[in-house]
Amino acid sequence: MIACVFVVSSAIADAPNGQVRIEDIKFQDLNLTTTAGVDALYKRVHSAALRVCAASEQSDLGDASASAKCSKDAEARAIEKINLPALTAFAANR
């Protein structure tokens, strides 16, 4: 039932030029009442955050700490937007 409500969320990264990078995260196929389903969703969110940050990097954001901060922030925003307590708890324990 939860998967039907939350069909798509987004990982978001602020690009240096003021544009915002967004990637849709689909998870209607996951059973979010199981640990395995929540784990799979977390992995999708994490991967999307890495991709939007890699795509938004410019030469001034090329260092590892800026990339890590971007990914962490994008992941946190996506998890907040999904608003699923099991996912929030799962991410907090990673």
pLDDT score at 9: 53
pLDDT band at 22 (very low <50, low <70, confident <90, very high): confident
Number of neighbouring beta carbons within 10 Å of residue 67: 17
Q: pLDDT at position 32, please?
A: 96
For 35-89, the pLDDT digits (tens) are 999 999 999 999 998 888 886 555 444 567 777 888 898 899 999 999 999 999 9
Question: How many structural domains are present in the chain?
Answer: 1
| Domain enclosing residue 48, as ranges | 2-92
Distance CA 50, CA 47 (A): 5
pLDDT at 66: 78
Whether residue 11 contacts residue 49, with contact meaning beta carbons closer than 8 Å, is answered with yes
pTM, to two decimals: 0.77
Q: Tell me if residue 12 falls in helix, strand or coil.
A: strand
